[in-house]
Amino acid sequence: MSETAINNHAGFIWSVADKLRGVYKPSEYGRVILPLTVLRRLDCVLEPTKDEVLERMAKLPATLENREPVLQRVADNRSSTRRGIRFVRC
């Protein structure tokens, strides 16, 4: 990434921070930024299988109570065990 691009990104981030300053105290930034960071990370991790999972979800009967095991198999996401965690870069 070029220095110009980095400066553009940094400028954008600071402009967002300036907007937050009007609404939040500096000590409250973490209450907003941390949840958004976690949501973005989850979005990045789930993105490769999102379409397949949504497609499978639409095909499941409405009467099925526990959909999680079915959808985890589709996503090949064994997040309940450490060895199944995949690291994905955004």
Helix (H, G, I), strand (E, B) or coil at 65: coil
Domain total in the chain: 1
Q: Which domain holds residue 70?
A: 3-84
Residue 37 lies in a domain: yes
Averaged pLDDT score across all residues of the chain: 79
Residue 57 lies in a domain: yes
Residue 24 lies in a domain: yes
Residue 53 lies in a domain: yes
The answer to whether residues 20 and 29 touch, using CB atoms and an 8 Å cutoff, is: yes
Helix (H, G, I), strand (E, B) or coil at 87: coil
- pLDDT for 29 equals 76
Average pLDDT over residues 48-68: 89
Cα angle value 67/60/75 (rounded, 5°)? 55
Give 11-45 pLDDT, tens digit per residue. Answer: 888 888 777 677 777 788 778 888 888 999 988 88
* Spatial distance between the Cα atoms of 71 and 56, rounded to a whole number of angstroms: 7
Residue 90 lies in a domain: no
Average pLDDT over residues 77-86: 47
Residue 11 lies in a domain: yes
* Spatial distance between the Cα atoms of 36 and 16, rounded to a whole number of angstroms: 13
